[in-house]
Amino acid sequence: QVQLVESGGGWVQAGGSLRLSCAASGRTFRNYAMGWFRQAPGKEREFVVAISRSGDSTYYADSVKGRFTASRDNAKNTAYLQMNSLKPEDTAVYYCAANRVYLRNVYDYWGQGTQVTVSS
C-alpha cells in the first residue's frame, strides 16, 4: 500500500513557476514508477509526465514538454513536478500516481490532488 499526498499548488500569473511535491508513505516508494496527471474543470483527466523508478527516464506529454520537469528523490520518498512558463491552460487539479510498471496505462495508487490556477 502506498499513500500519496500532493502539495505545492496555488495561484500564479502566466509565465510564472510552481513546484509540486508528492510525498509517499512506506518504504517501497523506489519500487514504483510515478506519474503526474491533471484534470481541468469539465475535461477528462490528462497525462502529464511519467518518471521511472530510478528517475533516469521520463516521458512527457507534448503539451508540457520543455516547460515541465519531473524528478524524484527516493531517499525522501518524494516526487516533484517543476512547472515553468505556466499558461492559463495549465490550470487544473494535479494528481500524482504510483505505478508498478513504468509507462503502463493503469496506475495503482493516486493522491488527492492539488489545485493549480494560472491567471492571464
The per-residue pLDDT for range 20-76, each reduced to its tens digit, is 999 999 769 999 999 999 999 999 999 999 999 999 999 999 999 999 999 999 999
- Backbone φ and ψ for 91, nearest 5 degrees, come out as -60, 125
Q: Which three cell numbers stand for residue 114?
A: 492539488
Residue 36, pLDDT score:
98
Inter-residue contact 96 to 22 (CB < 8 Å): yes
Closest CA to 9 of 110, 81, 109: 81
Strands 92-99 and 78-83: unpaired
Neighbours of 19 (CB within 10 A): 14
